[in-house]
Structure 1
Amino acid sequence: MTNTGLTIIKVGGGAAINLQGVAEDLAQIDGPKIVVLGANAVRNQLARELGREVRTVTSLSGHTSVFSDEHMIDLIFMSYAGLQNKKMVSWCRQAGVNAVGLTGLDGGLIQGRRNRGIKTRVDGKKMVLRDHSGKPVSVNDQLLRTLLKDGYTPVLSIPIADEDGRPLNSENDDIVALLHQSLQAQNVVQLIEAPGLMGDMDDPGSLVSRLSAEELRQWETRVEGRMRRKLTALNRLFENGATRLVIADGRGPQPISHALAGEGTVIECQPQPC
């Protein structure tokens, strides 16, 4: 399977994702590529080993996120920027992919804006929780274009940088949307621990193989928690000019090639523009 335009591949952080298979498949995809790498399973395992809590909070609007205090930022450095990123870079280079591992901090690659606080309810009372999390707002696209032009494959991980260069936790789906806005990728692939978007996670036969961008917007109103946050970011992709997104299974061999061939859930603008 080959491709000549830029491909952005978001690799989920679940334990069952075939990272080595993703790295080997990258070598078969022509053209420039950027990997946005998750590591939540590694983070959670490290937290257990270190006796630290991974705390989640739900905002009043229904979005669920990880509460990012100083301990969580340390875990992100260890898991995302450290273990997962460098393992992926090693597998890529073994497969012949000239990968370079970066966080959003490096070279001011992903600049973010610190969240003002999470409006939530604790013990029945409304309150605002402040932490080290934020939204990505700009990309050092000159750095990325230079790396891509010189034949490197960037492997990007959180944390991103706040206004003063301090680390922030952020959502990879939001980072992918911002990267597409800046670089206008030809293909966007998301690899997850499922065959694609499922109508019922308990029913293997409920794969939704095709969606229009408008149908995706309707899905956002029917879900809650982290899934709603994810769909909000996916809808932003199409608002920023994406015309095709594939959400596919990252657990098997050649997951990127299968996704680009249309396996999984293919979401397209019908008709264009979205």
Structure 2
Amino acid sequence: MTETIVVKCGGNAAVNAEAVCADVARLSERGRRLVLVHGGSADIEQLASRLGVESRTLTAPDGISTRHTDSSMLEVVQLALAGLAKPRLVSLLNRRGTRAVGLTGLDGGLLRARRKSALRAIVAGRPTIVRDNHTGKITSVDTGLVEGLLDGGCLPVISPPAVAEDGHPVNTDADRAAAAVAGALKASVLVLLTGAPGVLADPSDDSSALDVCEVPASGPPPHRGGGMGLKLIAAREALQEGCDRVVIADGRVPSPVEAALAGRGTDVAVAGSGAGSGAWEVAG
């Protein structure tokens, strides 16, 4: 079977989407099978501001933060990802001769998720149960749909949201969506591109990037600053689900994907085996 590379283009404004797409297109022209997964944090923040929707962050007891997705923010997320970020990436790829096909997790039930009934968070210094949050954890990926596009010479461009059990959309972290896709496809490598040269020992010092970051088989990862907590959880999930290699690398440099594949970034390794972190979920 031909090896598949999954690339996650970070939504951080610092990530050079044009360089990412140029690199993905070049690799595709050389016969590599690639899937591009994307977020859109910068687009989401800008659109939320324009529409007057408050943007809030939830911080779990273990210190890992994520977006608070109430019903208004869920609408913003869908508009920003499907209406702004995705068309931009698909257009960049198509202009380079790549047959890019844009999909959200809703299309064909591509990404299915279990809705999180409640989240534990620290609000105003106190542990709180948050229930007005439309998020979910991905439980399955329709690999047949993705493989069909790849076999047809297309390059899938995938983003949240996902489909919950009730058929309604739920937001899900784009890094974890990329991890779910990479794990389900048994990808040879998942490249998580971000606005840093890798996992930093000191989040304020780009020169402190680690060559290798080992994460425990469960529980909080060792580095959580600079938004790395969820990326490392995603990396662990991908590796535990069958992806061979995960690299967290710089999305600001020329040829960012090829640089990551060549070793410029942080390779993630899992100590032992076991389930991923459940820090965000409340049972039931």
1:180 counterpart residue number: 182
In structure 1, stretches of 5+ residues that fail to align are none
Q: How far is the alpha carbon of 1:119 from its aligned partner?
A: 2.2
Asked whether the equivalents of residues 104 and 156 of structure 1 are also in contact (C-alpha less than 8 Å), the reply is yes
Q: Note the 1:78-157 alignment, pairs <5 A.
A: 78-122=79-123, 124=126, 126-157=128-159
Give the structure 2 partner of residue 258 of structure 1: 259
Q: Give the corresponding residue for 1:203.
A: 205
1:59 matches 2:57: no
Report if the CA contact (8 A) 1:244-1:269 is conserved. no
Residue correspondences, number:
268
| CA pair 229-204 structure 1, distance change in 2 beyond 3 A | closer
Contact 1:134 1:170 in 2 (8 A): yes
Q: Is the 8 A contact 1:62 1:225 kept in 2?
A: no
- Residue 181 (structure 1) shift: 2.4
Q: Which amino acid aligns with 2:255?
A: Q
Quick check: 1:181–1:237 contact (8 Å CA) kept in 2? yes
Is residue 39–residue 81 contact of structure 2 (8 Å, CA) maintained in 1?
A: yes
CA shift, 1:230, in A, is 2.7
Counterpart for residue 14 of structure 1: 12
Q: In structure 2, how many angstroms separate the alpha carbons of the residues matched to 1:105 and 1:232?
A: 23
2:253 is paired with a residue whose SS is coil
Q: Which runs of 5+ in 2 are unaligned?
A: 273-284
Return the alpha-carbon distance in structure 2 between the equivalents of residues 46 and 170 of structure 1: 18
Instruction: Please give the alpha-carbon distance, in whole angstroms, between the structure 2 residues aligned to 1:113 and 1:37.
Output: 21
Distance (Å, rounded) in 2 between the aligned partners of 1:221 and 1:257: 27
**C-alpha contact 2:232 2:268 (8 A) present in aligned 1:** no
1:89-121 Cα offsets, whole Å, 9 max, x none, are 000000111100000000000011110111234
Deviation at 1:219, TM superposition (A): 7.9
Report the counterpart of residue 165 of structure 2 in structure 1.
163
User: What does the per-residue CA deviation read over 1:128-168, in whole Å, with 9 as the maximum and x for residues that have no partner?
Assistant: 42321100101111111110100111101111111122111
Task: Give the AA of the match of 1:200.
Answer: D
Shift in Å, 1:258: 1.0
Cα distance 1:199–1:14, how it changes in 2: closer, same or farther (>3 A)?
same
Give the direction of change, closer, same or farther, for the CA distance of 1:264–1:270 in structure 2 (3 Å limit). Answer: same
Q: Which residue number in structure 2 is paired with residue 244 of structure 1?
A: 245
Amino acid at match of 1:97: T
Is the Cα–Cα contact under 8 Å of residues 196 and 265 in structure 1 kept in the other structure? yes
**Cα root mean square deviation, aligned:** 2.5
Structure 1 residues 131 and 191: alpha-carbon distance in aligned structure 2, compared to 1, 3 A threshold = same
Q: What displacement does 1:66 show? A: 1.2
Structure 1 residues 122 and 21, CA, compared in 2 at 3 Å: closer, same or farther?
closer
User: Where does residue 42 of structure 2 map in the other structure?
Assistant: 41
Identity %: 36
Aligned counterparts of 1:209 and 1:216: Cα–Cα separation in 2? 19
Equivalent position SS for 1:205: helix
1:216-262 C-alpha deviation (Å, 9 max, x unpaired): 97981453795333322221222222332111111122111111111
Q: Alpha carbons of 1:127 and 1:203: their partners in 2 closer, same or farther (altered >3 Å)?
A: closer
Q: Which TM-score applies when normalising by structure 2?
A: 0.86
Partners in 2 of 1:21 and 1:221 — Cα distance?
A: 30
The answer to which of 232-241 and 29-38 deviates more is 232-241
Q: Deviations over 1:53-77 (max 9, x none)?
A: 1111223343322111121111112
Residues 19, 238 of structure 1: alpha-carbon distance in 2 compared, 3 angstrom cutoff: same
2:117 and 2:218 mapped to 1: Cα distance?
Answer: 26
| Corresponding residue SS for 1:27 | helix
| Distance across 2 between alignment mates of 1:156 and 1:261 | 24
Aligned residue type for 1:267: V
Write the distance in 1 (CA, Å) between the matches of 2:137 and 2:226: 17
